[in-house]
Amino acid sequence: MTIEVIVDNQISREHWDEYVSTQPSATPYHLFAWGEAVERAYGFKCHRFAVTENRQYVGILPVVEMRTMTGKKHFCALPYCDVGAHISNSDAIALTLKDALFKAAKKLAITDIELRASEYELLTLDAVRPGEKVRMQLSLPDSEDALMAQFKSKLRSQIRKAEKNGLTYKTIQCNESNDGHVSDFYDIIAKNMRALGSPVHAKQWYQAICSKYGKNAYIALVYSEDVAVGAAIVLKAGNKASIPWASTLADYNRLAPNMLLYWAVLSEATKQEIAIFDFGRSTVSEGTYNFKKQWGCQPMRLDWQSFENEEQCVTAHVNKSKSRERIENVWRKLPLQMTNFLGPKIRKHISL
User: In this structure, are residues 210 and 341 in contact, taking their beta carbons and an 8 Å threshold?
Assistant: no
Asked if residue 149 and residue 114 are part of one domain, the reply reads no
Helices (H), 23-70: 32-42
Neighbours of 344 (CB within 10 A): 19
pLDDT at 183 over 60: yes
Asked if residue 95 and residue 198 are part of one domain, the reply reads no
Pairing of the two strands 217-224 and 311-313: unpaired
Q: What is the pLDDT of residue 318?
A: 46
Asked if residue 104 and residue 9 are part of one domain, the reply reads yes
What mean pLDDT comes out for the span 299-328? 78
What is the tally of structural domains in the chain? Answer: 2
334 — pLDDT class (breaks 50, 70, 90): very high
Asked if residue 235 and residue 168 are part of one domain, the reply reads yes
Residue 124 belongs to a domain: no
Asked if residue 206 and residue 150 are part of one domain, the reply reads yes
Residue 108 belongs to a domain: yes
Among 229, 217, 281, 286, smallest CA distance to 260 is for 229
CA distance 122 to 2: 35
Q: Higher pLDDT residue, 324 or 111?
A: 111
User: Over the stretch 201-239, which tens digit does the pLDDT of each residue have?
Assistant: 999 999 999 999 999 999 999 999 999 999 999 999 999
Asked if residue 109 and residue 166 are part of one domain, the reply reads no
Residue 72 belongs to a domain: yes
Domain boundary among 241, 274, 307: 274
Asked if residue 261 and residue 145 are part of one domain, the reply reads yes
Residue 198 belongs to a domain: yes
Residue 336 belongs to a domain: no
CA distance 308 to 325: 29
Which CATH number goes with the domain that contains 192? 3.40.630.30
Asked if residue 181 and residue 89 are part of one domain, the reply reads no
User: Which residues have a Cβ under 8 Å from the Cβ of 41 and sit 6 or more positions away?
Assistant: 201, 202, 204, 205, 207, 208, 348
Neighbours of 220 (CB within 10 A): 27
Domain boundary among 274, 289, 307: 274
Considering the entire predicted model, what is its pTM?
A: 0.93
321 — pLDDT class (breaks 50, 70, 90): low
Asked if residue 112 and residue 20 are part of one domain, the reply reads yes
Asked if residue 189 and residue 77 are part of one domain, the reply reads no
109 — pLDDT class (breaks 50, 70, 90): very high
- What's the half-sphere exposure (Cβ side, CA atoms, 13 Å) at 191? 14
Q: Which domain holds residue 62?
A: 3-118
Asked if residue 234 and residue 113 are part of one domain, the reply reads no
CA distance 95 to 92: 5
What mean pLDDT comes out for the span 165-178? 88
Neighbours of 110 (CB within 10 A): 19
Asked if residue 270 and residue 146 are part of one domain, the reply reads yes
User: Which residues have a Cβ under 8 Å from the Cβ of 250 and sit 6 or more positions away?
Assistant: 192, 195
pLDDT at 73 over 90: yes
User: In this structure, are residues 110 and 281 in contact, taking their beta carbons and an 8 Å threshold?
Assistant: no
